[in-house]
Copies of this chain bind each other. A is one copy, B any other.
Amino acid sequence: MEHTPIACSHHDHNHCISDALEAARQLCVGRGVRLTDLRLQVLELIWQNHKPLGAYTLMEMLAKANTRRVAPPTVYRALDFLLEQGLIHRINVLNAFIGCPSPTTKHQSHFLICRACGIAIELDQPQLSQQIIGVAQDAGFQVESQSLEVSGLCANCAGNTEHDGHGHE
């Protein structure tokens, strides 16, 4: 149930993609929603990148992969679906999207975002969510969703401060 942070550049990423896609397929079957070719392709591209990906970058990738023009509404509709199903998260501070490693478990959007390499590490800290809910309740506020975006330097980049070409692309 714990998802390993993705800061390490030496994990089997192909495996990690295929796992996520298979999980997404099963999740959609279970919910009776349609993971169409387009939606699957968008999810795959997002996972391949392993970093938050902008909608327009995604559009270019789709256009290249499909040899057809892909207009903004097309990709935004796919993104909306994936967001609704919890298969991806939106990183507001970057206007970008990233795959969720545990879409079956309901949780909030808590990320560590490295300003040097651009990686986004999803946190799995239910007690942090709970503390936030508590603080909100003290103010009479009824929480519906949380977005925590912590910016700074990841372990890799904090170590390599002499040069930033640490190659996590």
Residues on A lying within 8 angstroms of B by beta carbon are 5, 7, 92-93, 112, 114-115, 121, 123, 125, 128, 131-132, 135-136, 139-155, 158
Q: A93-B147, A141-B121, A144-B115 are in contact. Are A152 and B128 (CB under 8 A)?
A: no
- Give the number of times this chain occurs in the complex, counting copies: 2
Minimum C-beta distance from A92 to chain B (A):
4
Most buried by B among A7, A123, A135: A135
Partner of A128, one of B114, B125, B131, B144: B131
6 closest cross-chain pairs (CB), A and B: A140-B155, A92-B92, A144-B152, A142-B153, A143-B152, A147-B149
- On whether the beta carbons of B155 and A7 are closer than 8 Å, the reply is no
CA distance A140 to B7 in the complex (A): 10
Partner of A141, one of B128, B146, B153: B153
- On whether the beta carbons of A150 and B158 are closer than 8 Å, the reply is no
Partner of A148, one of B123, B140, B141, B147: B147
Chain A contact residues, majority secondary structure: mixed
A147 cross-chain contacts in B, Cβ below 8 A: 92-93, 147-151
A155 cross-chain contacts in B, Cβ below 8 A: 139-141
CA distance A146 to B147 in the complex (A): 10
- On whether the beta carbons of A143 and B136 are closer than 8 Å, the reply is no
CA distance A148 to B131 in the complex (A): 12
CA distance A105 to B94 in the complex (A): 26
